[in-house]
Amino acid sequence: MSDTVAETTVSELVAEVARLREEVAAARGLARRAADRGEIENLFSRYMYLHNAFEDEQIIPLWVKEGTEGIRARYTNAGQYTTYESVIRYHQGRPNPVGKLILHATTTPVIEVAADGETAKGVWLMAGTESGLTDPVVAKDSPDFMYSAGEVQGKKVWAHWVWCKYAIDFLRQDGEWKIWKFRCYELARAPFEENWVSFGEKNQDAFDLDLMYFGDDGKPVFMPPADEPVPSENHPYSPSTVQTLEPAPPVPHDTFTDTFK
């Protein structure tokens, strides 16, 4: 074998090794992104399972750790929470009233992990039910259209269909994905006996209230004071409005951009 042929062969081998290294690196990156996506989907599904079971204290470790810059949560138009203490307060002391049922089922996720692997974005749709019993004395402070006819165990019944959207930013922290920025958009709701169109006409101001949930005997529990006003409002379905693409599903991106404001 001549020196020229040998040099060509070595050169080809070097090029082949370089190509294989690139392919291995690309495959590793693809596998990592696929694993990240699965971990993120499991994280939010775990959040929802715990929330449905009124085990909110177990949700706290799913959030970024105290002191993390940029933490944020927003549930209504009444304001948003931008400190660890105010965000976590939502999950502390949540009651589990007798007769109350919440079943939020999330679906249709679009999840994009940033190319740098440090952050990720996800959107979900949710269809579910919310129901419980309210002491008649407490019920007097709420509109009659929120309740069903008749009583069960001497209490007023509220049983609602509910639909929401979620937009969440995630941060990789100490090798694990954590919830970093959280936004809930209520899309529509309706009592079991009524359609969402006629109810939507009545219910336009509900999302402006700082109601957190209904506690024991159906007593309303209000959100803690917000840290700052919302930069834009969300309103549930109304027969007088058109639908918009909000939140927009995330697209492939290199690094974090704050799109779910």
Render pLDDT for 190-236 as a digit per residue (tens, 0 to 9). Answer: 999 999 999 988 887 765 667 777 777 777 777 888 999 999 888 88
In the prediction, which pLDDT does 31 show? 79
Mean pLDDT value across the chain: 90
Per-residue pLDDT tens for 154-187? Answer: 999 999 999 999 999 999 999 999 999 999 999 9
Per-residue pLDDT tens for 105-121? Answer: 999 999 999 999 999 99
CA distances (Å), origin 66, targets 69, 70, 162? 9, 11, 32
Classify residue 196 as exposed, middle or buried by CB count within 10 Å of its CB (0-12, 13-18, 19+): buried
| E-only strand ranges, 100-237 | 101-113, 119-134, 151-152, 155-173, 176-191, 211-214, 220-222
Give the global pTM: 0.87
Question: Residue 148 pLDDT > 70, yes or no?
Answer: yes
Task: Report the greatest alpha carbon distance in the chain.
Answer: 100
pLDDT band at 144 (very low <50, low <70, confident <90, very high): confident
Per-residue pLDDT tens for 51-64? Answer: 999 999 999 999 99
Mean pLDDT of 90-99: 90
Question: Residue 5 pLDDT > 60, yes or no?
Answer: no
In the prediction, which pLDDT does 34 show? 85
In the prediction, which pLDDT does 11 show? 81
Question: Residue 1 pLDDT > 70, yes or no?
Answer: no
- Higher local confidence (pLDDT), 17 or 163: 163
Give DSSP secondary structure letters for 92-119: SS----TT-EEEEEEEEEEEEE-TTSSE
